[in-house]
Chains A and B, each alone.
Chain A
Amino acid sequence: MSKLREVTQNSVNIFNSEMISQFFILSPQRGDTLIFRDYRHDTPRDVPDLLLDRLKTWQKDHGTELDPPPIFNVDGVNFLFTNVQGLYFVCTTKFNVSPFMIYELLGRIATLIKDFCGILSEECLRLNSSLVYELLDEIIDYGYVQTTLTDQLKSYVYEDPIPVKRENIIINSLAKLKAPGTNLGSSRNRPIMHSRDERSSKQNEIYIDMIEQIVASFASNGMTVRAEINGSIQVKSFLQENPEIRLGLNSNIVLGRDKVISSDKYGIVFDDYKFHDSVDPTDFDEYKRMIIFPPEGETTIMNYRISGDISLPFRVFPTLLRVPRCPNRMEVTIKIRADVPEDKFVSKCTLTVPLPRITQSVSNENTDDYNDQSFQYDNRAKIIIWTINNLKGGTEQSIKVKITGATPFSAVAELEVGPISLEFDIPNYTCSNIQIRKLKVYEKNKSIPPQRWIRYFTISESYTCRV
C-alpha cells in the first residue's frame, strides 16, 4: 500500500496527469456533504470539513462581500470548486491538473445531474443519490474522466429518477430567477430518463433557445464606453438516437473581424465563435447552416461574440439637481428609453442606483400612478431599486426622486450617485437580429414530426451607466 502512494507522489514533477482524487457536493448552509465519491483514496477522508473550515476562515478574514477564489490548497491537497445554485461542486487532487478541464467537468456534472434527475437541488440530490453515484461511477474512473456523453451514460445507469415533490420546486424556481435564460419553463425540468416502460410520444420534443447577454457601459456624458453581445444557442433535446437536425441562421453574418465587409454594410460581424462537438459546421462559412446531432439533455451548441456597432436596447438619462435653497436636498431624475421594436416588450427591467453615503431619506413622486412599476429604497446599502414590468418597445419611463442628506450635499456627493446598473429580460428579441431561419429534424421511423420550440431572449450581463 505504501508503495502505491510513493508512486503517486513522484509523478507530480514529471507531467500533468489529469487525475481527480475525490468529488463531492457540499451544501454550505448546514455544512452537509450530499454526495461524496473517493476515486483514489490518496487524500484525507475529511476534506469536506477542511474546505468548510477554509471557507469560514475566509469569510471571517475578508467579510461576506468578497468571494473566495475558486481554488485552495490545504496541506498539499488542491480544492477546485464552483458554486452551482448555492451548492458547492468540488474536486480534490494532489496533481498539477488543468484547471480549465476541472472547472468544465464540474459544470458538466451539474448539467448531467440536471438532465438525469430533472432539476438540481439539495432535495433532489438526497432523493436521487444512488442515481448520482451511478453517474459519477461512469464519468470518472480511478480519477480519470471517461465520458460525459448522455447517450453513453444512459446505457450504464440503471436507477430511475425520483421526481421531487411539487412544493419543493419553489426553492429551485427562486434559484432560477437569478440565472434567467437557462432552463426556462417548467416542461423542460424533466429528466431525460423515463421509466423504461412508460416512454411516450410526449418525449418527442426539442427546445432551442437563442440567448444574448449584453455587456454595456456608458460614460456620464452618454457616450458608449463598451458594448458586447455574448450569444449562445442552447438545445435541450428529448429526441431519441441523436437524429440529424439542420439549422440555418441569417445569411448576413460575417465571420471574423479581419474579413472585409464591403457590399453588405448591415452585416452582423462575429468577432469569434465556436461550436459544440456535436455540430458539423462545414457549411456554416458559406450558407450559415449547421448540421447538429444533439445529444439528449442540455447542450450549448454554439457560442459567439459580437462587439462594436451594436444597437443597444436601452438608453438611460440621469440628471442630478441640487436645490440651492435647501442644501440638504437633491433631486435625482432618471429617464429610461427602450430602443427595441414597438412590437416587443421588456418583461422586466430593474434599475439599481447607489446614492451618497450621507443620504438619510428618500421620497419618490410619481410611481403610484403606474401599476407596472415598483420603487424601493434600501437604507442600509443606500440604493434605490426601480422595477418596471412590461416596458413597451419605443417608449420612455421616468422617475423623480428627492433625497435628503444628513449633512448638506456638496458637489462631490454627486460623484457618489451611480453607476446605475440595469437588469433586464427581453423575450422574443435578439439584440444582434440573429434569427433561426430554418430548422428541420430528420428523424428515422417516426410518423409524427417532433415538437420544436424556438425561443429568443436578450438579457443583461452587465449594463451600467455612470451618472
Chain B
Amino acid sequence: MASGKVSFLDQQQNREVTELGLRLKGASENVTMNHMGIQQTAKRPIIKKVLELMAAGIDVSSLFGDVIKAASTKDLVQKKLAYMYISTQAEQNSDLVILAVNTFQNDLRDENPFVRGLALRTLCSMRLIDYVPYMIESLNHALIDSSAYVDEHSFYASLVDQLYNTLRDRDPEVVANCIVALNRILLSEGGIAVDTNIAHYLLQRLHEFNEWHQCLVLDTLIRYEPSSEDEKFDIMNLLDDRLKHHNSGVQLATVKIFIKLAEGIPEIREDVYKRIKGPILTLLTLGSPEVVYSCLEHIIVLMSQSHQLFQEDYKYFYRRIKEPSFVTLKKLEVLENVATKTSSKEIINEISGYISGTDKVIAQKSIESIVKISFRIESVLSYSLEVFMKLLETGIDVIVSSIITALEEFINESPEKVGGLLSVLPSVWTSIDLSSQAGPAFLNLLTTVGYEIPEAPYILEFLIDDLENYPATSFRLQLLNSTATLFLHRPAECRGMLAKLFKYSMEPNESLEIRERALFLYRLLQKDIKKAQEIFKHQCCASKKNSSNNFKMKDKHLTKFNTISLLYGKYSEQYLVEPTPDVSKRNDNQFFSSPTHNISEFDELISPQPQHIAKDEFTLSSTASIDAKKFKACWENFTESCEFEISLSDSSTSLTSLTLDDVEAVFEENNMMIMASGSSGDYLKFFLYAQEINSNILMLCELKLNLNLKLAKINIKIGYETYGIIYEDQKMDLSKYSEFFIQYLTKFIKELTI
C-alpha cells in the first residue's frame, strides 16, 4: 500500500471492490442467522468488508451509491457502518451526497433517539459547505429534542445564548459538550468567558464529569483569574483530590492550575511544588512508558522552576531494565540536572553501570551525562576521571572513543587534574576509532597534556606513516597542529616526522585547507620559534569551556505545561504554530543556522547605495525580508528557474580560507539577503534571496561553493511574491531579470576570489 504499488495488486483490488458492489446490490435486507447464531442482515458483512478495504487505504469511493442505499435499514449496526463510510467518503463524492440527504432526513424524524443522534452527527461531520443549510435546519430542530443523546450532538453549531443557558443542564455530558461548542464559536474572543460564577459552578460539579470531560473543564478553568488569595486557596482545596486521579491527563491539568495559582503568591510556591511532586513520582513508577516519557519532560521544566524539588528523589531516575531506550535517555537528562554535591558520586557510579552495556547510544549519552555533572560539580571531577580510566582499559571501541572525546572537554576545564591520568593513552589508543570525532580529540589530548608521555612521538610517527588511511580534513589539520606542538617540546625526536608531514601535506593533490595550514605552520616555525611557542601555549587554554549550568528554562514553558509542545522542547514553535519549512529543517541537521536578516534602520544608513548593474531598472531592495516559510513556499512555486556553474579563478590560495562570514558579508553588502547558510563536507552552502525594487520580483538562490574543486554551483528561482496569473509581459520580465540576476551573482562570486 506504499507509493510503489504493483499494478497487479491494483487490478486485484479493483476487482475486489467491483465484486463487493455487485454483492451489495444483490444482497437482501432480510435478517438471517449466520453460522454462529448471530442475527444480522446479509449486507452487514459486506459493508464491514468495505470498511476494511477503506482502512487499508484502498479506493472504495465507487461504492458510494450502493452504501447510501444500505444506510436506510432497520439494522442499527449496518446503519452505523454505512454512516461511517458516508462521512469519510463525502468529500470525494460531494455530488452524490444529495442522495444521502433523504436518508438523513428520514432518520432525523425516526422514533429511536439513537437513530436521530446518529444521523445528526453524521450530517454535521461532513465537511461540505453546500449542506450547511440542511445542518442548521436540523440542528434548530434538534436543540429542542427531548432526548439527551440527540442533544449532546447538536451543540457544535450556533446559538451562543442558548448554550450559556444549557451550561446549567443537569446532564454533565451536555454541559461538557456545551463548553466545547462555546469554545469553538467564541474562538475569536478566546473561547468561553470564565467569570466567577461559571468557574465556581464548574468547580463544584467537577466530580460529576467523566475523566475526559474533567480534562476539558480543567483546561477551561485555567483561564480563570481568581480575585483574591483566599479564593485561590479555596480552589486549590477543591482540586486537591484531583491530584490523585487515576487519569494522568486530569492530574497534569490540575498540576498546571496549581502552578498558575501559586505564581502570584511567592510564600506558598515551594509548598505547592512539594504537593505536586508525589503524584508525579507515582506516575513515573507506574505509568506506561509513554506517560513516563512525558512526565520526565515535565520534570525537567519543573526543576527549572524549583531547583531543589527533585534533588532527593534522584533514585527514581535510575534506569529500569525493561524500559524503552527513549525513557532511559530522558532519565539521564534529568540525572544531569538533579545531581548535587552529596548525590553526584552515587549518581555517577550508577550511570557508569550503563556504559558497559550493549546499547551504544545509551553508553554515549551516559558518558556525556557524567561529563556534564562533573563540569557542574567540581568536587566529583576526579572521581569521574577514575571511572573513565577504568572504562578506558576495557578497550571497547565505542566507549573509548566517547571517553576520549569527553576527556578533551575535561582538559579545557582543568588540565592539571587530567594530566597525570593520561599515561594510559598509549595503551588504549589502538581501540580509538580515529575516523570519528574522537580522532582529533585524541591527538589534541596527546599533545596538549600528554607531551610527557615517552611514547607520544612514536604514536604520531606511526600515524604520519599511515596517513592515507586517515583522509578526514579535521584529522589532518589536528595532526599538523599536534606534531608542530610536540616538535616545540621535543624537537630532536619530532624533527624528522614533522618534515615528512609537511612534505605530504603540501603535495598539490592535497586539499587546500591542509596545504594552507601546513604552509602557515612551516613559515611560522621558520620565522620565529619563540613566537610559535607563545602561540601554542595560548592555544591550549584558549577554548575554556563555559561551565555554567546549561540548564536554563524560560517561564514561558509553564504555559506549555501539559501540552505536546513541551515534548518538542525548543522546536515546538516550528512544529505547532507553523509547518516546518524545508530550509530551516536543513538548518537543524547540517547547517549552522543564521538568523534571518532584518536590516535595521541603522544598517540602512551606513550600507552602501544599491549597486547598479547593466541597467538602472535592476535595483535590489536593501530592506527585503521574508521568513523561512515564505522562502520555502516561493521556492516550490516559482517556475522560472536556472541552474549553472561558475568555476572560480585559481589566482590565489585565499579561496581556501574563505569562511561563511566572509561570503555572507559580501552578499549582504550587495543587498542579497541570507536565509540560511552552513558548511557540509567541502561545501559552503547558502540560501540567498533578493528583491528588485521596481518590479517587486523576488529572486531566490541556492549557492554551493566547493572550495576544493573551485566550483560554484548555483540554482536560482525567480518569480512574483504574490502568486496568481502571470501575464505574458511579466513572463518576459522574469526571464530578463533572471539574466540580470545571473550576471549580478556571477560578478560577486568572482569578486570573492580576488
Contacts and interface: CB of A to CB of B under 8 A. Distances in A.
Interface stretch (A137-145, A309-317, A332-340, A441-449): A137-145
Contacts of B349: 219
A294 B253 CA distance: 25
A416 B282 contact: no
A82 B290 contact: yes
Contacts of B84: 37, 133, 137
B571 to A, nearest CB: 8
A35 B84 CA distance: 13
Contact of A17 (B183, B285, B360): B183
Interface stretch (B332-340, B389-397, B451-459, B612-620): B389-397
B210 A149 contact: yes
- 10 closest residue pairs by CB, A with B: A101-B249, A462-B320, A145-B212, A36-B55, A76-B579, A67-B324, A274-B244, A100-B248, A70-B290, A412-B393
A421 interface: yes
Contacts of B358: 65, 354, 381
Interface string A398-414: 00000000000010110
A331 to B, nearest CB: 20
Contact of A217 (B279, B286, B294, B318): B318
Interface in A200-248: 215, 217, 219, 225-226, 228, 230, 232
Given A15-B223, A133-B84, A103 B294 contact: yes
A154 interface: no
Interface stretch (A91-99, A115-123, A181-189, A429-437): A91-99
Residue of B54, B294, B578, B580 with most partner-chain A CB within 10 A: B294
Interface of B: 1-3, 36-38, 44, 48, 51-52, 54-57, 76-77, 80-81, 84, 88, 91, 114, 121, 124-125, 127-129, 152-153, 156, 173, 177, 180, 183-184, 187, 190-191, 210-212, 215-216, 219, 223, 244-249, 251-253, 278-279, 281-282, 285-286, 288-291, 293-295, 315, 318-326, 349-350, 353, 356-361, 390-391, 393-394, 396, 560, 562-568, 575-580
Nearest to B149: A156
A259 to B, nearest CB: 13
A234 to B, nearest CB: 12
Given A33-B57, A65-B359, A67-B324, A274 B245 contact: yes
A220 to B, nearest CB: 9
Contact of A99 (B121, B323, B391, B567): B567
Given A80-B290, A137-B80, A145-B212, 18 more contacts: A1-B127, A7-B187, A12-B576, A17-B184, A45-B57, A65-B361, A66-B325, A76-B576, A97-B564, A98-B219, A99-B562, A99-B564, A129-B48, A147-B173, A230-B286, A272-B278, A412-B394, A413-B394
Contacts of B288: 82, 103, 107
Interface string A1-27: 101100100111111111000001000
15 contacts: A14-B191, A34-B55, A41-B125, A71-B568, A73-B575, A98-B215, A100-B247, A129-B48, A130-B77, A133-B80, A144-B216, A160-B38, A225-B315, A415-B391, A416-B356
Contacts of A48: 57
A103 B321 contact: no
Contacts of A133: 51, 80-81, 84
A142 B563 contact: no
B212 A41 contact: no
A274 B282 contact: yes
A49 B2 contact: yes
Contacts of B356: 354, 415-416
A96 B244 contact: no
Most B CB within 10 A of own CB, among A69, A105, A147: A69
A462 B324 CA distance: 12
Given A46-B57, A97-B564, A99-B567, A130 B81 contact: yes
A75 B580 CA distance: 7
Given A100-B248, A129-B48, A228 B81 contact: no
B278 to A, nearest CB: 4
B150 to A, nearest CB: 13
Contact of B282 (A49, A303, A466): A303
A305 B322 contact: no
| B interface SS class | helix
A359 interface: no
A31 B187 contact: no
B80 A73 contact: no
A440 interface: no
B285 A70 contact: no
B354 to A, nearest CB: 9
Contacts of A285: none
B251 A100 contact: yes
A111 B40 CA distance: 26
Given A10-B187, A34-B55, A73-B568, A230 B285 contact: yes
B361 A62 contact: yes
B244 A275 contact: yes
A126 interface: yes
Contacts of B36: 162
B51 A130 contact: yes
B246 A156 contact: no
A278 to B, nearest CB: 9
Given A18-B219, A31-B2, A67-B326, A1 B129 contact: yes
A355 to B, nearest CB: 11
Contacts of B318: 217, 225-226
Given A225-B315, A272-B279, A1 B128 contact: yes
A78 B325 CA distance: 21
A378 B589 CA distance: 38
B437 to A, nearest CB: 18
A306 to B, nearest CB: 10
A371 interface: no
Nearest to A162: B36
A456 B387 CA distance: 42
Contact of B212 (A34, A126, A148): A148
A424 interface: no
Nearest to A161: B38
A296 to B, nearest CB: 16
Contacts of B562: 16, 98-100
B114 A276 contact: no
B51 A70 contact: no
Contacts of A410: 393
Given A32-B56, A98-B562, A141-B121, A70 B325 contact: no
B241 to A, nearest CB: 9
Contact of B396 (A62, A80, A357): A357
Contacts of A134: 77, 80
B182 to A, nearest CB: 12
B680 to A, nearest CB: 17
B252 A305 contact: no
A297 interface: no
Nearest to B34: A162
A14 B48 contact: no
- Which of the listed residues A49, A52, A99, A126 has the most CB atoms from chain B within 10 Å of its own CB? A99
B57 A305 contact: no
Nearest to B354: A419
A104 interface: yes
Contacts of A45: 57
A168 interface: no
A17 B183 CA distance: 9
Given A142-B124, A415-B394, A103 B291 contact: yes
Nearest to B92: A45
Contacts of A396: none
A100 B252 contact: yes
Contact of A97 (B38, B391, B563): B563
Contacts of A86: none
B466 to A, nearest CB: 24
Contacts of B156: 142
A195 B34 CA distance: 13
B55 A68 contact: no
